[in-house]
Every structure is written in structure tokens, then in C-alpha cells.
Chains A and B, each alone.
Chain A
């Protein structure tokens, strides 16, 4: 396990790329180890082209972000979730993120509705505000921890004990419309 620090330790959900894929990196401490994550923000892509399924391939986690003030972005979650289930690894950790929780007066998606949906689909769920930084940190820490645990379980499960599926590792965390992430806990 190496302890690298990444140059950009800030990831701001608000600073959406207008086009193309964007990257950010994030490091967190889990069980005394430093985990460095590489985050692929693909939000800009679909506006221009279909996302290539290659984006999903190496991902170990996904943040599916919708705007709590725009119901249509929440409706799209269904489609993104299907994409992920179709193309990504079956063990991918997905987290549903309702962003812009600061826009309380404009809320179009009730928290409870999203929460129930997340439970039904085995996603974890959180509401964030990139504007006032509420829960952004928590969102990343949660999903990274979950991924870290899942991957460490996996390693034990698949290489030493015969069958891969062993340790029931689908602990979905919410998926993200834009960002995708990869965690390298090498």
C-alpha cells in the first residue's frame, strides 16, 4: 500500500466539465491505509456522444448524481443504473447522490422517495450540496471505504477460496450520473 498524496485534493461537483471526460483524484485513509481514487467525470460526454462502454469497464464504484431541483435528472437515474448493470463489473459499488441540497425551496425530488428507490435497488444514498460543501466529503469517504472493503474481500475470496462470488460483496452505493471512479489501493 503506498501512501501517495494527490495534487488536487479537491473535487467539486459543481465545476462540471462542459465537454469530454474530466478527471480528479482523491485520497482517503481507510483502516490506516491510504487509498487513492481516480474519478472519471463523464457528465460532459453524453451531451455530445454516447458514452463508450469502456468507461464502465475498469470502474469499481460509481456516483450517480442527480439534481434535487430537476426531476428529470432523477428520472434518468433509472437509465444510468441499467447502463451500469449492463456494462460494469457485477461487484461495482454504486451510490445515489442527490445534489444541490442547498436549493431547498426548489426541491422536486423528495428525500424519502430517493431513499426508498436506493434501498430497493441496493444503492447507498446521500444528499449533498456542492455549493456549501455539505456531505461532499462524506459521499466520497463513504463510497471509497465501501469500495476498499469490497475489493479487499474480493481478493481473499477469489484467489484463495475457490469461488469468486463468495463474500456477498454487492453492497451497492449510489451511482453517479457523471463521475465514475477507480480506486487504487496498491
Chain B
């Protein structure tokens, strides 16, 4: 479009047709200019919106890139470092772009729209003004022209008005023209300047970008490129290795064990078929491991589940070929004290390998005599792990060639192995660490492996023999390594231990002239016998004979004991043995009145039972307190049960407390456990043979009480027990399931208790 000709001021004042034609050209020119500018503004607006989106998306991109790094490359330091450098570059780019887009577009937009608003708008306004005046002028002319000669006054008015309006119109016209000329003059530099700002911003952006990346490249110094190259060549290496991977497949698949277990504690592992113990006798394929002294198995599944323990202590098991009636290849049998497992390997030679491995493990367990390979291995952890470490590395070089052989992974491996050893101490190890348990309680020999479970002392084999000869009512001897020690018993043994028990039984040990002389490692059997009898049967050093002179029953009881012990051929009726069957029917017998123990003693026993203080009970017991005595309408067992102290209950039962004893409301301990919702105690009492059929004064059985209290687990325990008794004669095929149900419930209760106490 051609710029319209300049406006002649004389023409303007005359308001000639030429002038009118010229200004109409100018108007068209400005209209066109404005619409063009508006179009440009629209584009700029769009660019602003889109660049906002772009920047936002770019931001999300950098966030995702960083997440990618954290999630998938965090264990690869080299890659992480490279990622950081690149992410840095992304970040810089984003910042630069953001500033550029925000500034450049907005500046040009503001300038152009300012021009439209200020300059073009003024032209439009001046035009409107001009049009108004032009109209007024026309009216003034008409009025003047139609003035009559007869009315000279009117004509004069018309003339005057015309002069005034004419002058005004001339000024307005010139204003308008001035505005047009100003707009023309402004338009050139303002528009150009607006466009130039955009170019300046762009130029600044690119040079800033240039500077930033110069800096980045200098810092990078080819690092990223090198790293990528390194990874690329490593990946080629992996490709090559993976081509060789098939050579790993053994020639005779499923004939021989396929390599050493990676876990140093695992003696052997692999798939075996296991015959299920239910009526279907289905053979299921499971992943088996011989680990420490256990045989474990697990499913092949996507979820990582803890392995099931098939046998807790292989020391007590026997391995042999399957009986001939099993018509499958490669079967063998693992016989345990309670049942036998049938297992099948994929080949005869694998079967032999498994049998040999199991036999070796069992033999090693017997030889180490700890029932716990790990303790001997514990000291040998360093060499054994370092040996497997090399195996590990061999394996790793294939399975994880990308790992830049950083020492981190291997060292962390070792530390987790050690931690596991500490975290999962065997029961034996825990008991052995109780104060004083490193030596025999009676003679001081090192490494005792026997225990009197009711007294809570650890003994050497000789002394345990003497304890055994006292009869089970006096001392119940078990092996720490070959007998299983359940949770309740463990609580008792951890609460007692040699030092604490001796502090009670040897409380008043004279400093000199001890009669009989204390036994030591080299003592003969006779010396040991005399010492142990004096210590536990007569409780000679447990009582302050000088201070406490027998008004109480226990003193006279002691006299009787002394008399008994004088004649060793007679059994020692120290404590009434428990009579499971009699107490149900024979309530009158159990309810005999208060024994005459001093009130203080009872108070002490009561507090011990309430607080779970096993040692306090042992002390009272050593002073001759009758654990079956009734006081205030209840007994020690009832109180301990009510307060949920499993260890205390266990101690009482071990020391002759009658399990079916009744309190004044004819409740058994089982009633109270059911009432309080103590699931663990219900398990414990049932395990020890408590009678669940007794009714209390309200004619309620423990089961009734548990149902009223909606203790679902306890109800289940009672019902399962009833059912098991009912089916007992028929070789109940659900026996194993019942065991698992009971132990599941017990474990859950134990965990809940643990969580609560934490």
C-alpha cells in the first residue's frame, strides 16, 4: 500500500474536496495499519501461550529425566554422574528459554499495542471530533445562507456564528491533520523499535546460550562422550558374553547339581518334589535349601515370600532311600522324630547328592555338638565368606558385568551376612549368653550343654546326671542342643540363668567350712551328688537358718525332707506332682483352706506373679512356699495367667503347680486366660494338657467364656483341640494342619504382643 500524499494545510483550511479525498486515503491507510498490527499482536499472543506450554512441558521433561536417573541408575555411580551433567545442561537450557520467551514476546507485544492505543486511537478521536465540527460547520453555513434581508439582526447572528464555527472548525481540522502527521511520524520509529527489541532479546538469548554451553562444554571436557563410549563398549562386551551364556547349560540337565549356592550359609539348594502329607499325596515341586541346621523350602513365585521351614533341627533327623513301595525315581526319605518326608530329586545322582549333603550336615551338627553349625561357622565367617566372595565375583562377572566392580557391593554383602548372624541368634546361643551360663552352675565346667528347666540352671553333663537322679519332680533335665526349647520355656531360661539362680540357692553360703564341699570340674560323682543335694534338695544355703525359725509349714516340711534325704533309697516327695485327671472331679481336695504361710511370703509371691518376676517366685519357692496354696481365693497360677505372663506360668507349671487348679469361683487358669483374651496363654495351657471341659461357678467352660468375649482365635484353639481329641483314635490326617493352625495363631499372638510392648 502506498503512503497517501501529504496534506496541504491551505487545502485543509478550505476544506476542499481534494483535502477530503486525501484524509479519506489516510483513514484507510491507518485502518489497514491497525488491522495488520492487530494481526501481528494475535500471533504474538499465540506465541506467548504456546511458549508457556513449551516451558512447562520442558520442565516436566527435566523432572522425568531426573526421576529416571534416581530410579534406574542410582546404583551406577558413573552413569549417575553423567546424568547429573546432562540434567544440568537441561536445566540451563530451560532457564534460558524461559527468560527468553517471557521477555521477548511480551516486550514486542507491549510496544505494538501501546502504539495502537496511543497514536492510532488519537487519530480516531481527532477524526470523530473533526466530523462533529464539520457537521456544526455545515449547519452554520446553512443558517447563514438562509438569513433574511428583512431581518438584519438574524443575518448578523448567522454571520457571527459562521465566523466562530468556521474558526473552530479550521482549528479542529488542523488538529486532525496534525494528529495524522504525528501518527505518521511516530509509526516509523515505534514499530521499528518494537521489532528491534524482539531481535535484541533473541540475540541476547542466543549469546547467553552460547556462553552457558561454552562453560558447560569446558566443564564437561568430553566426560559425557567418554562415558557414553565406555558404556557402549561395555554393552558390546555383555552382548558377546550373552552369546556364550548357553555354554552354562550343563550337558546333562537335571542330572547334577547346578553350581554352588551363592549364599554362604546354604549348604545345598535346588528343586525337589515333595509329597504332600494330605490324602491326595500330591507331588509338588519346591525349591529346597539346606541352611545352617534347617531344611527350608519355598514356592517358585513372583512374590518374595519367606521360606517354609520343613525341619527345624536336622540333627534330630535321619536320611535314607525311599521305601521300595514308592515307585518313583530318585526318591529319598527324611525321617524326623515325629514324621517322615518323602522327597524326589530329578535324577538318581542328584538324589544321592542330596542324601550325601543332608548326611554331611547331620554329621557336622553332631560333631560340632552344638546343634548349631553357625556358632562354629561364626568364628570362621571371615575365611568362609571371603572364599565364597571369589565365587560370588565369578558369578557376578557374568550376571552383572555392568557393575563397575565397585567395592561397595561386595563389602555390603559381608556386613549383611554378619548382621544376620547377630540378629538371628539361635535359642541355644541366647541362653548361653545369660550371665553365668558359660559355666556349669554346680561345678563350673566350661561349655555346659544341659539345662534343668524348672530350676533354670545350665549344667555340664556330669552334673546333669546327678540332677536326673533326683527325679523329675526335683529337677527336669533337658539337652540344650538336642531337645527343642519352645518360646515359653525360653522366657523362663532367659529370666533365670546360673548367676541369678545361684544368688538364691547360694545366698547364705558360708565363706569357709562349707559342708559338703562345693563340686568342681574334677570332682567325683559322689562329691557332686552331695553338693547338688545340699544345694537344691535341702536348700541348705538358700535359707538363713539362724534368722528364720520355723513357725511356718515349710520348716516342718524341710524337716521331713531332711529325713527323706537321709534315706536315699526312698523317692523324694518334695513337691506334689501334678495330677491331671484328679483335679477336675476332686474340687474339694483342691480347695482346702489357706496354708499357713506367712502373709509376707504370699504378698511377695502375688507381686511376683503380677509383675512376671520369675526370679522372685524361685526365691519364694526356695524358701519352701507351696506353689499350689490358695490365698485370698486364688493361686499363684491364676494370678500369673490373669496378668498374661507366659514365662511365669511356665515356671509355675514346671515346678509342680497343678494346671487344673480352681479358684474360689471354680475358674481354672484356662478360664482366666480365655476371659482376658490371652491367646498365647491359652495355647500354652492347652499344650501342657489343661482340661477345657471344666465349668466354673456359672457353669461356663473356658470355650463359653471365649465366645462371650468374641476372642475368635481362642475359640478356634479350643474347638481344634476338642476336635483333635475326638479324632485321636483314627490317626487323624488333619493332625498336621491342626499343628500349623495352632502355631499360626500362637505366632500371630506373639507378634501382636511384641508390637504392643514396643
Q: List residues of chain A with CB under 8 Å of any chain B CB.
A: 2, 4, 7, 17-23, 25, 36, 38, 44-45, 47-49, 52, 54-55, 57-60, 89-92, 147, 150-151, 154-155, 158-164, 169, 182-186
Q: When chains A and B are docked, how far (Å) is the Cα of A18 from the Cα of B719?
A: 13
Q: Which of B709-756 contact A (CB under 8 A)?
A: 710-716, 718-720, 722-723, 726-727, 730-734, 736-737, 740-741, 744-745, 748
B277 lies within 8 A of A23 (CB): no
- Is the beta-carbon distance between A91 and B716 smaller than 8 angstroms? no
| Chain A residues within 8 Å of B276, by CB | 89
- Answer whether residue B37 sits at the interface, using C-beta atoms and an 8 A cutoff: no
User: Does chain A have a CB within 8 A of B281?
Assistant: yes
Closest B residue by C-beta to A181: B734
A158 touches which one: B283, B718, B727 (CB < 8 A)?
B283
Chain A residues, Cβ within 8 Å of B326? 159
Say which residue of B715, B719, B737 sits within 8 Å of A54 (CB atoms).
B737
Given contacts A52-B744, A58-B277, A58-B278, contact A184 B730 (CB under 8 A): yes
Q: Is B218 part of the binding interface, using a Cβ–Cβ cutoff of 8 Å?
A: no
**B715/A184 in contact, CB under 8 A:** no
Report B-chain residues with C-beta under 8 Å of the C-beta of A48.
Answer: 710, 712-713
From A57, which residue of chain B is reached at the shortest CB distance?
B737
Q: A57-B737, A58-B733 are in contact. List 9 more A-B contacts (CB 8 A).
A: A23-B722, A25-B727, A38-B734, A49-B713, A59-B737, A89-B278, A159-B326, A183-B279, A184-B732
The chain B residue sitting closest to A59, CB to CB, is B278
Q: Is B328 an interface residue (CB 8 A)?
A: yes
Query: Which A residues are CB-close (under 8 A) to B278?
Result: 57-60, 89, 182
Shortest CB distance A170–B (Å):
11
- On chain B, the residues within 8 Å of A23 by CB distance are 719-720, 722-723
B712 touches A158 (CB 8 A): no
Q: How close is B345's CB to chain A, nearest CB, in angstroms?
A: 14
Cα distance A180–B707 when bound, in Å? 21
Given the interface pairs A154-B280, A159-B325, A186-B733, the reply to whether A44 lies near B727 with Cβ below 8 Å is: no
- The interface residues of chain B lying within 8 Å CB-to-CB of A154 are 279-282
18 contacts between A and B (CB under 8 A): A18-B707, A18-B710, A19-B710, A20-B714, A22-B719, A23-B719, A23-B720, A44-B712, A57-B737, A60-B279, A60-B280, A150-B280, A155-B281, A158-B275, A159-B327, A164-B282, A186-B730, A186-B731
Contact-size category for B: 35 or more
Query: In the complex the two chains form, is B282's CB within 8 Å of A38's CB?
Result: no
Q: Determine the chain B residues whose CB is within 8 A of the CB of A19 once the complex forms.
A: 707, 710-712, 715
How far apart are the CA atoms of A45 and B717 in the complex, in Å?
Answer: 12
Contact A55 B283 (CB under 8 A): no
Bound state CA distance, A38 and B725, in angstroms?
13
* Contacting residues, chain B, for A161 (C-beta < 8 A): 327
- Counting chain A CB atoms within 10 Å of each CB, the highest count among B275, B325, B722, B734 belongs to B734
Q: Which residues of B approach A to under 8 Å, CB–CB?
A: 275-283, 325-329, 706-707, 710-716, 718-720, 722-723, 726-727, 730-734, 736-737, 740-741, 744-745, 748
Looking at the complex, which one of B280, B329, B714 makes contact with A89 (CB distance below 8 Å)?
A: B280
B712 x A49 contact (CB < 8 A): yes
Interchain CB contact under 8 A, B716 and A45: yes
A176 CB to closest chain B CB, in angstroms?
16
Closest B residue to A61 by CB, please name it.
B279
Report the separation of the CA atoms of residues A33 and B465 in the bound assembly, to the nearest whole angstrom.
Answer: 53
State whether A57 touches B740 (Cβ < 8 A).
Answer: yes
Could you say which residues of chain A place their CB within 8 Å of the CB of B737? 54-55, 57-59, 182
Which of B280, B711, B741 interacts with A91 by CB under 8 Å?
A: B280
Whether the Cβ atoms of B723 and A89 lie closer than 8 Å is no
Residue contact B733 to A2, C-beta cutoff 8 Å: no
Are A20 and B723 interface neighbours, CB within 8 A? no
Q: How far is the CA of A185 from the CA of B714 in the complex (A)?
A: 30
Contact B325 A21 (CB under 8 A): no
User: B280 touching A151 by the CB < 8 A rule?
Assistant: yes
Beyond A19-B707, A23-B723, whether A58 also contacts B715 by CB under 8 A is no
Cβ contact of A20, chosen from B280, B719, B740, cutoff 8 A: B719
Closest B-chain residue to A88, C-beta based?
A: B278
Q: When chains A and B are docked, how far (Å) is the Cα of A89 from the Cα of B281? A: 9
Q: With A and B bound together, what is the CA distance between A101 and B718 in angstroms?
A: 33
**Complex Cα spacing A159 to B727, Å:** 26
> Contact: A20 with B281, CB < 8 Å?
no
Which residues of B sit under 8 angstroms from A58, Cβ to Cβ?
277-278, 733-734, 736-737
B713 and A162: CB pair below 8 A?
no
Q: How far is the CA of A184 from the CA of B728 in the complex (A)?
A: 12
List of A residues within 8 angstroms of B745 by Cβ = 52
Q: Which residues of chain B come closer than 8 Å to A17, judged between CB atoms?
A: 715
B733 & A182 in contact (Cβ 8 Å cutoff): yes
**In the bound complex, do residue A182 and residue B734 qualify as a contact, i.e. CB atoms below 8 Å apart?**
yes
Q: Which residues of A contact B716 (CB under 8 A)?
A: 20-21, 45
Nearest-CB residue, chain B, relative to A8 = B726
Contacts A159-B325, A162-B328, A184-B730 given; indicate if A89 touches B282 (C-beta within 8 A).
yes
> When chains A and B are docked, how far (Å) is the Cα of A182 from the Cα of B748?
25
Complex contacts, B712 vs chain A, CB 8 Å: 19-20, 44-45, 47-49
Q: How far is the CA of A114 from the CA of B302 in the complex (A)?
A: 32
Which of the listed residues A20, A45, A164, A184 has the most CB atoms from chain B within 10 Å of its own CB? Answer: A20
Tell me the smallest distance from the CB of A42 to a CB of chain B, in Å: 9
**A22: chain B residues within 8 A (beta carbon):** 719
CA A151 to CA B279, docked complex, whole Å? 6
How far does the alpha carbon of A18 sit from the alpha carbon of B281 in the complex, in Å? 33
A23 and B724 CA atoms in complex are apart in Å by: 10
What are the residues of chain A within 8 A of B275 when measuring CB–CB? 158
Alpha-carbon distance between A23 and B741 when the two chains are bound, in angstroms: 14
Give the docked Cα–Cα distance between A21 and B703 (Å): 12
CB-defined contacts of A54 to chain B, threshold 8 Å: 737, 740-741, 744
A25 to B728: give the CA distance in the assembly, Å. Answer: 13
- Cα of A127 to Cα of B278 in the assembled complex, Å: 28
Complex Cα gap A92–B710 (Å): 31
